[in-house]
Amino acid sequence: MIRFALALTLLAPVAVRARGADPIYLDQGWSSDERAAYYALPQGSEVVPYSWFLALEQPWTEKLFRDDAHIESFRYIPSAANKFNPDGLPVGFTKGRGKDGKDWFGLTCAACHTGQFTYKGKTVRVDGGTALADALGFQSTLVTAVKATLAQPAKFDRFAHRVLGEKHTPERAKALATELREQLRVMADWEATSRPAHPGGYAVWDALGVLLNTITGTAPGIPDNYRVPSTPVSYPSIWSTNRYDRLLWNASVESVTLRQVGEVIIVFGRARAAAGPDGKLTFESSADLNTLAKVYDYTSMLTPPAWPEDVLGKIDRNLAKRGEKVYQDQKCATCHPLAPYPTVEAKAGGRKLIKTTATPLKEVGTDPLYAEYFTRRTAVPGALAPVFKGTMFEGQQEVPAAIQFLATLTRITEADLDRAAKTPSERARLLGDRPLPQLPKAPAELQQLVNALHAYKATPLTGVWSTAPYLHNGSVANLYELLLPPEKRMKSFYLGHREFDPKHVGYRTGPFEHGYKYDTALPGYSNRGHEYGTGLADDDRWALVEYLKTL
């Protein structure tokens, strides 16, 4: 795939302290400028107008919403100002010029796929790692802040003076209040269609359920297609994502570009798939495909993090060697291969991709709700019926929601490509080497697709030590617990601690103020399954944990 040229800066293979900053950055293939640029790249997310975000106060105080302590309370990562981020926004929080010509505050993939932990007074950044972010908590509190601003005259007056500055007049303040009410309606609708029956908290979020509602319900204006999202899942690491043949926890997508457009829409990007006054269907999103191509380049440079021995302690190499034999004897590499990895050829360009393993639900035994939700949900085509013309779904009053989702997101992505690309070669560059989805042509193909999606994706375990909590739904707190029989795993634990536990390899799990109690008895939250290596002697179990630190 031809992408933008980005200079690689080679770093020494040790943890290095960032220039003038508190975190220790691990050697993952980025220079400090490349890292800072990636954090601040706007991708098309449109949460609120940028000046509003800078001016909003917290709901219950006069402190600004963007105050570092407030941002950290949602486990997003505060950041100092730099040339790419002059206003000192948190990691993955950006200022971007929308297609409407306005400046918007938005989120990027860095907000949810950047890890950070502490250990004995030191702070370590893991780029491309598993965030502890509470996405729903952040969004809900932002909605509450807007409501409070409109409800409290003094709070609104301070907000209006910050936004309007010297241009403040009573008339302009009144117009601003009208705009704020309209934006609140959009945000409140998004919140209402994004909240699962049992809202998650730190480290987990059902982004796919949110996207299903947006693509099948909001974008085409069909509220009958809204469903309560299924269950929160853990944020996966992304340092090898561009090399995998299948993407997302349920391996439902091949195209990196399609996934990127979906990711923008999930984090408040605008999407439309509806008929205009002339009856003609229009597809579009606010995703910036040229910027997303740069994001692809940066994440392709990213390498997995090595265990930082100068922070977390030396790996016991003899014990790890014993653990390597356990890994081989237990045939862990059947699903989680070691290098050299099995590959398949990309369908365009001939590049080799790492072949992932989709393990059927019945075999892996982990909570099935997330995968089943995607395949068993249905949707009303409504105005989108022409999308299915000439297919096996033509004329149907209901279609599988997964089919409508893939078909609609594909049309949105195609339309975005047509607008962004001036030439066929530019279009090919932006699309990359993975095809956009094709609808099944016959019932047998549909059933084959459903069967394929009743599975969870397994990949190589590079950097796995840094990606707690484990399993797709984050139901297992650490690597040691993952190797225990399910009945011996913790039935509940707390997420949101940043302090790392290098022995069990995960985060601290005890209760703390405002912590999120993860209850494995809830639907979709089960910690059962993945019973591989659970019968090991405890000495072998610890040896395997030690070996996993080396990957």
Q: Which residues of 9-28 are buried (b: 16+ CB within 10 A; e: fewer)?
A: eeeeeebeeeeeeebbbbbb
Over the stretch 487-500, which tens digit does the pLDDT of each residue have?
999 999 999 999 99
CB atoms within 10 A of CB 538: 10
Q: Is residue 50 within a helix (H) or strand (E), and if so which, with residue range?
A: helix 50-55
Q: What is the pLDDT of residue 17?
A: 37
Assess whether pLDDT exceeds 50 at residue 269. yes
Residues 6+ apart with CB under 8 A from 380: 222, 224, 225, 397, 398
Work out the mean pLDDT of the chain and round it to a whole number: 92
**CA–CA gap between residue 77 and residue 407 (Å, rounded):** 35
Q: What is the pLDDT of residue 497?
A: 97
Q: What is the pLDDT of residue 374?
A: 87
Distance of CA 98 to the CA centre of its chain: 21
Assess whether pLDDT exceeds 50 at residue 62. yes
Q: What is the pLDDT of residue 13?
A: 34
Q: How confident is the model at residue 19 (pLDDT cuts 50, 70, 90)?
A: very low
Assess whether pLDDT exceeds 80 at residue 283. yes
Over the stretch 300-326, which tens digit does the pLDDT of each residue have?
999 999 999 999 999 999 999 999 999
Q: What is the pLDDT of residue 15?
A: 41
Least-confidence region, from 45-59, 315-329, 336-350: 336-350
Over the stretch 204-250, which tens digit does the pLDDT of each residue have?
999 989 999 999 999 999 999 999 988 889 999 999 999 999 998 99
Average pLDDT over residues 450-468: 95
Domain ranges of the chain: 24-244
Q: Is residue 17 within a helix (H) or strand (E), and if so which, with residue range?
A: strand 16-17
**CA–CA gap between residue 260 and residue 110 (Å, rounded):** 12
SS3 (DSSP) at 341: coil
Quote the pTM value: 0.92
What are the φ/ψ torsions at residue 305 (nearest 5 degrees)? -80, 140
- Angle in degrees, 0-180, between the axes of helices 289-301 and 256-266, rounded to the nearest 10: 110
Q: What is the pLDDT of residue 321?
A: 99
Q: Determine the residue type at 484.
A: L
